[in-house]
Chain A
């Protein structure tokens, strides 16, 4: 991960110089100085490249003066319309153009502090790379960027804006690492272990195994897990940023915590209702909801958010085997409600229902948001630009919609209703675990809603279409996106701190 620093403007002696340029901007500062030093070569190069500063435009000029190996111009669009989000996209686009340099300086003198920090954040987020299993890659092919100096006249303001963003980026990277890990490495026990180091951020971490879960009556979660050779885990993470201290030392909670619940199926074969072979390797990211919650808790703790928050993840592996759960099985959930398992591949909701019940019993949260790569149906409904949002609370739903837009993690509200709930009717138990193809994501949400206490604000985010990207995104290379970390961090920052 490149190191980001905010410095006073001074012409760099080596490496790359990045010039973020607005359509209506006039050359000033380092831009003007370099143009002068190069005898107008920079202006001529931008002219020749038809570079106008439009959004998405870029141009590279090689070694215009002694020492500087390349100058990269990045278009920002119209300066009046420039937002932090637009700056993030520009920073993300910039990364690939300077990745082979060890050092780069960004001439951000003309940019307001949030925009300069946004540019740096976009660049940093786009630099993510998961390469720990590449052993034969040539040195020349690897990115080299180690230091990014953002040149600004408002270094203090920039540093203040940057500190929380840096913590959020750490959270995003934690989530992406977890989601990217292969399923033989990252099984439920390992995933729980990887939460422990987060204690040094001030989080309290508890790990529960099958013995505790049996005592709590987690029949649904244990049913999913029973075909696997690896034990299930539930991780409970607490951040007491509002009431102070840790769970052990704090006296009295200042307020009810907010709660985030994640689905963590470290690999989903579908179980006995096994999936087709084509594309099954994608099912390593069926724990993205949990990965996101872990990354989010790290982000909140890392930036010392003034909120009491709990994050709970249910970690299992869904395997077919002699001990696996069968279609037709009836399981008893922690809430006491019974479920007829029609399809063992609709396992995410079985994991969530027990964890959500536990979270409400123990923490009585102000609201609860769950994240899960829950259904293929949500991809058919919305594609890859929006996560599906289901909620019993208009206020929470509006807050989530508003929080997602500026961070590029958009949600689209989907309906709930009694007519859909009826599709879950079972002849033998309180409900079936699937409601048929029509409205498949909605019936999944209806299932989960049956485990939400009456009157508790709740939202369910079906992130199956957005947790992993087959294409590069503005601030994420293809692969794990960590969708939800920034959205929920923003939700907390906008409405639940202080």
Chain B
């Protein structure tokens, strides 16, 4: 269990700080005195000391979506400050709102180093009746927090071997974990992944996580970029800001987190996560600009910039997923390009696809969990720009003002084949404004499966 423990209770425990969400224009009688002059608009807060203990009044405004309730739960935790325990009053709220309130609080309570909140009490009229709904939500929260924990770890701690070991530990939840090392990767011809990891002291790996589910159908596949640290390689990055490259494995972490969520809630849908894990660093054995690589798919790729390594490791991972697991749909998540940050900033991830239906489903799932996507195009010209004089295709282009996120997507599409595929470039959303990991993608993928891949007719 990661983060604060959430318990459902029928009554608040005396002495524990109590967060009371109030809807605009509808303050119930017990709070009327405390709430005198309190408009209950969204964002409004009042911290009251009462003889029964501390009461936090939280303006809820007119919440319309689950994400509004999540925001309120997060606000409750922030308002509670360094408190170790907090009760959230959710009596008379619809089940969906109560669950979202606790979800937001549990997500906000997490901190990689300085978490003070240990326990959250969700106070509802019928704890037993709500328990199944909360268990499902808690699975997603755990998936997201697992993603964050991994993403927060520094590059010397979470090197490729350590990353693989953490994933192997997921076996206790019924996930089958198979980590392919250098030898097997060589046998498979994973020339792109091996090249990217060649400069590092820790060898690259391909981690394959499988959740069986109950349906006898092809799995949904999640493909993750797991660069444990990205120096840029020979095309080395500027020193400023390089420390943030510890989170260049957030895509792989999100895929693993989504699978964990599915396992914890015992999803009936089969799924597989294929995570390409490597450290991209400079060394005598590093790959070079100008190198031509043989990918697992048999295609040759001309390296233009060793800092565009994510698409290379994903190429092999995508091909592995397609050839070994024949998935019914495939989504890759990657902190792939600076261009997507220039394009969409830090409020939306970009989604590229060869299948508009899958794109719409992913976007709908993202909207439900507050992880917003925006569709981006792959144009004919983007693909044409990757024509190489020496190999089947170039990995990227060189020069200023390039649509590199679209180039990367055009590159990846070549390795998706006919499989319905979407690529989520999460470079702009992996960290929040404080620089902490968001876990973006874990909840989205879990919700996507829940919404669209657990329908009975998929048996």
Chain A residue with minimal CB distance to B404? A380
With A386-B379, A412-B377 given, is the CB distance from A381 to B347 under 8 Å?
Answer: no
The yes or no answer to B345 lying at the interface (CB within 8 A) is yes
Contacts A438-B342, A439-B342, A441-B343 hold; do A380 and B401 have CB atoms under 8 A apart? yes
| Contact of B347 with A385 in the complex, beta carbons under 8 Å | no
- Chain A proximity of B337: nearest CB distance (Å): 9
| Given known A379-B403, A383-B403, A385-B379, contact A438–B341 (CB-CB < 8 A) | yes
- The answer to whether B377 touches A386, judged by C-beta atoms less than 8 angstroms apart, is yes
Q: B377–A385 contact, CB under 8 A? A: yes
B395-439 contact mask (Cβ, 8 Å, vs A): 1 or 0: 000001111111000000000000000000000100000000000
Tell me the smallest distance from the CB of A441 to a CB of chain B, in Å: 7
Interface residue count for B (Cβ, 8 Å)? 25
A386 to B379, CA, bound (A): 9
List which A212-229 residues lie within 8 A (CB) of chain B.
Answer: none
CB-CB under 8 A from A412, the residues of chain B are: 376-377
Q: Shortest beta-carbon distance, A444 to chain B, in Å?
A: 12
- List B304-363 residues whose CB lies under 8 Å from chain A: 339, 341-348
Asked if B374 is at the interface of the complex by the 8 Å CB criterion, the answer is yes
**Is there an interface contact between A383 and B381, defined as CB atoms closer than 8 Å?**
yes
B428 near A381 with CB under 8 A, answer no
Which residues of A399-453 are within 8 A (CB) of B? 412, 414-415, 417, 419-420, 423, 437-443
> CA separation between A439 and B377, bound complex, in Å?
16
Contact B382 A437 (CB under 8 A): no
A385 touches B401 (CB 8 A): no
CA distance A253 to B305 in the complex (A): 60
**A438 engages B405 (CB within 8 Å):** no
Q: Residue on B with the closest CB to A437?
A: B342
Q: Does A382 contact B (CB under 8 A)?
A: yes
Contact present for A381 and B346 (CB under 8 Å): no
Whether, in the assembled complex, A376 has its beta carbon less than 8 Å from a beta carbon of chain B, the answer is yes
**B344, A381: Cβ atoms under 8 Å?**
yes
The answer on a CB contact under 8 Å between B345 and A442 is yes
> Are A382's CB and B345's CB within 8 A?
no
* B380 contacts partner chain A, Cβ-Cβ < 8 Å: yes
A381-B342, A438-B342, A438-B346 known; A376-B401 Cβ under 8 A = yes
B377 close to A380 (CB less than 8 A): no
Q: What is the CB-to-nearest-CB distance from A1 to chain B, in angstroms, rounded to a whole number? A: 28
- Whether A419 contacts B347 by the Cβ 8 Å rule is yes
Please, which residues of chain B bring their CB within 8 A of the CB of A144? Answer: none
B333 to chain A, nearest CB (A): 19
A396 within 8 A of B: no
| Interface range on chain A (Cβ under 8 Å from partner) | 20 to 34
A424 to chain B, nearest CB (A): 12
Are A381 and B381 in touch, CB under 8 angstroms? no
User: When chains A and B are docked, how far (Å) is the Cα of A376 from the Cα of B401?
Assistant: 7
Chain A residues within an 8 Å CB radius of B401: 376, 379-380
A442 touches B344 (CB 8 A): yes
For B380, list chain A residues within 8 Å (CB). Answer: 385
CB distance from A174 to the nearest CB of B (A): 27
In the assembled complex, which residues on chain B have CB atoms less than 8 Å from the CB atom of A441?
343
- Smallest CB separation, A272 vs chain B (Å): 22
Q: Give chain A interface residues in 355-394, CB to chain B under 8 Å.
A: 376-377, 379-386
Candidates A377, A385, A417; contact of B343 at CB < 8 Å: A377
Residue pairs across A and B with Cβ atoms less than 8 A apart, 19 shown, are: A279-B400, A376-B401, A377-B343, A380-B342, A380-B343, A380-B405, A381-B339, A381-B342, A381-B343, A381-B403, A383-B381, A383-B382, A383-B406, A384-B403, A385-B380, A385-B382, A412-B376, A414-B343, A419-B347
Query: B residues near A, CB below 8 A?
Result: 339, 341-348, 374, 376-377, 379-382, 385, 400-406, 428
Interfacial residues, chain A to chain B (CB-CB below 8 A): 279, 376-377, 379-386, 412, 414-415, 417, 419-420, 423, 437-443
Known: A381-B376, A439-B344. 17 other contacts (CB 8 A): A376-B401, A380-B342, A380-B401, A381-B339, A381-B342, A381-B403, A382-B406, A383-B382, A414-B343, A415-B348, A415-B374, A420-B347, A423-B345, A437-B342, A438-B345, A441-B343, A442-B345
